[in-house]
Amino acid sequence: MFFKTYYPNIVENTKQFIIACPHCGNKSIHQIYEFYKGPCIGFIFLNKPLIASKKYYLVCQICNNPSKELTVEQVQSSRGTGTINNEISQTESFEFCKHCGVSIKQNYVFCKKCGARL
C-alpha cells in the first residue's frame, strides 16, 4: 500500500443536471464527481483509494470547475440514468464562434474552445 494522489472520478450510475455554471455562465450538463480529501491509502494500480474521505461536487463539462457541493444523501437520491431539468433539446440550433470558428450551442455565453465571450 502506498500514499498516492488520486484524481476526481465520475460517480457511476447517477443522473446528470442541466444548470447554469456560476464560473463560466453557460447552461450545460453537470455530472457528479467524487473528490478525495486528506491522506489517501491504496494501491498504485487502482484508480480509487481504499481508505479516503470523499466530497461530492457537480462539475461543469465546459470549464471543468466544481459548481456545487453535494451531500451523500443527495448523491444517493440521484442514482439512476437520465437528465434532470432537461431544457436543452436535441434539435437545438448551433452558432459559430467569431474568433476560432468552432460550432457552439446558442445558449452558451463563452466559447468552449478559445474562451471568447459570445
Q: Where are the beta strands (DSSP E) in 1-118?
A: 2-3, 9-10, 16-20, 27-42, 51-60, 66-70, 83-84, 94-96, 103-105
Question: Nine-digit cell at 108?
Answer: 452558451
User: Does residue 92 share a domain with residue 70?
Assistant: no
- Residues of the chain falling short of pLDDT 50: 86-93
User: Does residue 37 share a domain with residue 16?
Assistant: yes
User: Does residue 98 share a domain with residue 79?
Assistant: no
User: Does residue 94 share a domain with residue 80?
Assistant: no
In this prediction the pTM is 0.61
Question: In this predicted structure, what is the pLDDT of residue 91?
Answer: 40
Q: Which domain holds residue 81?
A: 2-85
CA–CA separation, 64 and 99 (whole Å): 21
Into how many domains does the chain fold?
2
The residue behind cell 500514499 is: 3
